Amino acid sequence: MSDKVISALNDQVKAEIYSAHLYLSMSAYFHSIDMAGAGNWMRIQYQEELFHAHKLFDYIIERGGRAKLAAIDEPPAEWKSPLDVFESALAHEKKVTAMIGNLLELARQEHDHATEIFLHWFINEQVEEEASASAIVQQFKQVGDSVNGTFMIDRELASRVYHPPVDAN
């Protein structure tokens, strides 16, 4: 791997760890407003983001590169509403999707076919991440200010369970 690719992958590790912290902060917010189901959903998201960071970290090492950790920024801790949280999550996932796309372009420019193939897993994962957050945003928009609707969504979000991806490669 070129130094450019290694550096960019290390930047993505940092971004994934930041994502994990962001989702854990969102989980804390939801628990503070008595929405344990949404808090659970965000905690599962936190676990997924850590998995992504580890996957990238391990890949760098596997390819003979040096994985390096960098400081991350403090994530926000307050939002206006449950809808605002999920809109923020969706916007964040779109940003991550763009970052993965940039990594893919760099791998192509560097003729790093192995990294290009490796990144396809992340591209597919981002499609799923965006679709999931988008669906929840739409649900919150549909129920509006309905306390019963919010309660039902929260209850549904409580059922999410973390399952590490079967295809970890």
Judge whether 74 lies within some domain.
Answer: no
Residue 165: the pLDDT is 82
Q: Is the pLDDT of residue 157 over 80?
A: yes
Q: For 73-111, how does the pLDDT look when each residue is reduced to its tens digit (9 = 90+)?
A: 999 999 999 999 999 999 999 999 999 999 999 999 999
Judge whether 85 lies within some domain.
Answer: yes
Judge whether 145 lies within some domain.
Answer: yes
Query: Considering its fold, how many domains does the chain have in total?
Result: 1
* Domain residue limits at 139: 3-69+79-157
Judge whether 125 lies within some domain.
Answer: yes
Judge whether 88 lies within some domain.
Answer: yes
Q: Is the pLDDT of residue 168 over 80?
A: no
What is the rounded distance in angstroms from the CA atom of residue 160 to the CA atom of residue 7? 34
Q: What are the CB-based long-range contacts (under 8 Å, 24+) for 65-68?
A: 65/1, 65/5, 65/6, 65/9, 66/6, 67/10, 67/13, 68/10
Judge whether 168 lies within some domain.
Answer: no
What is the rounded distance in angstroms from the CA atom of residue 3 to the CA atom of residue 9? 10
Q: What is the CATH number of the domain that holds 108?
A: 1.20.1260.10
DSSP string, 115-127: HHHHHHHHHHHHH
Judge whether 140 lies within some domain.
Answer: yes
What pLDDT band is residue 158 in, cutting at 50, 70 and 90? very high
Q: Identity (one letter) of the amino acid at 116? A: E
Instruction: Of 147, 156, 137, give the one whose Cα is nearest residue 91.
Output: 137
| H helix runs in 33-112, sequence order | 36-62, 82-109
DSSP state letter for 43:
H
Judge whether 169 lies within some domain.
Answer: no
pTM for the whole thing?
A: 0.94
DSSP string, 139-152: HHHHHTT-HHHHHH
